[in-house]
Structure 1
């Protein structure tokens, strides 16, 4: 075999190796993206992009302040617990408004029934419900300032790689959020609006 043939063969093998490596890497990235994309949040009482029903609106705005039903599926492998956080990014506070902060939901729980946001009813006894920005533990519904237009309410579920966050019901939403993001494997969101 002459030098030119050997050089051509090495070059071809190198190209094939690079092509195989690129294909394998692409497949891994697509697979990871597919896994993340499968984690979804749905609700029987909320419709994504629609107006929040009055049942889930805060007392002060004429609602019943009942937390909505939520279900999630497609959590990634290695999920050991879940957290649910509900945020209004449009509240005129500079940092939004936290309506519900729940964590240490066991990994075998994949839904919350309507009304689970009232800690007194014990519907999710294993979980911790921290204080919302109204100052009470559990769920606090939509109630933006009168005439402020529609606000967005972002319901998010997080799949976490730890069984428990080392926090209690007195933890601030910011502290819970920091710990959630530090241990997050995936998240899914459902957004609704409400205003008056």
Structure 2
């Protein structure tokens, strides 16, 4: 499916809807490049033309395979992004006297067609979290040897035992060991 739409078609139809799958094997997000589950994201977009302005709104959703930031095991992350854009076909941007607070989310556009793929990718990138955890109670990795604590919750390693212990907390450590043995 092509995500390019002709401006003249939008102007003549006034209102249109597009629904389909954005097909891609991988997606590049701000945290890395990831495999897309089923090689697709489902997309629904509404397009409205009024007063030399095209308003685009909709959503995109799908799943990617991403390593957990705590345990590094592969997990599935569901992405749901909102597509929003306003294309101003008449005006030119004037940034000379405007302040950052006054800028609107408007794309000043000249051309014969609009590529909605850019808006789809933008929605996915914005919806992706900076940190992904495979499950709420993910225990992560042992900070001394790297053992996955989800697979071995009672893990004790030699490196952990040999780690330098702050002498101010040594008595508390002995108390903890004593309580664990009871």
Higher CA-based Rg? 2
TM-score by length of 1: 0.23
The structure with higher relative contact order (CA 8 Å, sep 6+) is 1
TM-score by length of 2: 0.24
As a proportion of its length, which structure holds more strand? 2
